[in-house]
Amino acid sequence: MQTPICDLLGCEVPIFAFSHCRDVVAAVTRAGGFGVLGASTGSPEQLEVELAWLDEHTGGRPYGVDVIVPSTYDERAEVPPAELEAMIPDGHRAFQDRLLTEAGVPELPDDERARLRAELAAGRGGMTPDGARRLVKVALAHPSVRMVVSALGAPPPDVVEDLKAHDVVVGALCGKASHARRQIEAGVQVVVAQGTEAGGHTGEISTMVLVPEVVAVADGRAAVLAAGGISHGSQIAAALAMGADGVWCGTIWLGTRESELDDFERAALYATPTEGTARRRARTGKTVRMTRSELSEAWERPGAPGYLPTPLQGVLYNEAHARVVRARRGDLWSFPAGQSVGAVTGETGVADVMYRLQSEYGEAVERLAAVNDREDLS
């Protein structure tokens, strides 16, 4: 399964794992893949702790970091939490509180609410231009960080130049071929073609359609990773057949025992069928593919208030999400996840998933070889 990107980044197989959980990143990296830590929602101090831990638990193998380096941003990202909450209209807060109260979901204790606000404040700081640059600076201080990926398009020119000066590979996610073209022209070396099947912020074009288009645009100038709905080794074979250099996976790691989800959240995830996700704006104000629930769908119904702009919608929704998790209410629980969630049906380990993907890939290649043999005989 080795492709040129394995030589570029120093991994054994081109299976890339995006996760906000350092345990998943380390386990995938140790198993021969390439783990990428989602770092945009933390402070530089938190990132330093995470990367120091990864350095100790990856055996010297290379891994990556995913950040958001916006060229433009909403200045409300730097407003103190108390002031930000004051900007939320009373009608929106009343709508959400009424929904949860009628469902019997208790409010958060004061200490938990304070902790949540502090975490949100730290996370928003990482999404400002200066805050993201501080995260990149932390990443560059760790020699094992081999790639930095920008989640929202190509990083600014100064960041690209800084990364390349440190011999760190520049990556970026895209949802359209036109995005990929601009990213490559800006110096991106690895383009992640993310289809609409993917979890989180994602576009409208399917992976099967998007990948060949991005491969054509890249034309050898950048490596391409296929992302969105990938949960089987046969899909890896298909991605390579379409010209991709590897695959980028996220949802399949959520069900592992190493993931950041607790037992309640994993059980809710296992119960979600393939058709149980939708692109909704309830979580952040921007379109996110997430598992559907009574909470996510309430905002879509007639009479619901309009979505708030980012980051106000996220501030409102995150507190509701924390209340739902604390109350252990699976009917109200939603989490960013792709359509491959239907393949996540029970607890497993990262190493088991890595083995399964490679085994299924081998079987798919053998099936294709058998087809070729039949054609040769005819």
Does residue 378 have a pLDDT over 90?
Answer: no
| CB of 197 closer than 8 Å to CB of 251 | no
pLDDT at 121 over 70: no
Contact 124, 80 (CB under 8 A): no
Q: Name residue 164's beta-bridge partners.
A: none
* Predicted confidence (pLDDT) per residue in 44-96, tens digit: 999 999 999 999 999 999 999 999 876 555 565 566 666 778 889 999 999 99
Structure confidence at residue 377 (pLDDT): 66
Note whether 171 and 192 are within 8 A (CB).
Answer: yes
Torsion, Cα 264 266 270 274, to 10 degrees, reads 120
115 vs 342, residue with greater confidence? 342
Q: Which residue has the tokens 């070889």?
A: 369
Q: What pLDDT score was predicted for residue 240?
A: 98
**Mean pLDDT value of segment 2-23:** 97
Cα–Cα distance measured from residue 208 to residue 226, given in angstroms and rounded to the nearest whole number: 9
Q: Is the Cβ–Cβ distance between 354 and 253 less than 8 Å?
A: no
Dump pLDDT digits (tens) for 239-298: 999 999 999 999 999 999 999 999 999 999 999 999 999 999 999 898 999 999 999 999
H or E stretch covering 42? none
Report the pLDDT averaged over residues 172-180: 97
Q: What number of other Cβ atoms are within 10 A of residue 302's Cβ?
A: 4
Res. 1: pLDDT tops 60: yes
pLDDT at residue 75, as a whole number: 60
Give the pLDDT confidence score for residue 127 in this predicted structure. 62
Rounded to the nearest 5°, which phi and psi values hold at 202?
-150, 160
Q: Is the pLDDT of residue 194 over 90?
A: yes
Write out the H or E segment, with its range, that includes residue 1: none
Q: E strands, the chain, where?
A: 15-19, 34-38, 63-67, 145-150, 169-174, 190-194, 200-201, 223-227, 246-249, 277-280, 288-291
Neighbour count for residue 219 (Cβ, 10 Å): 9
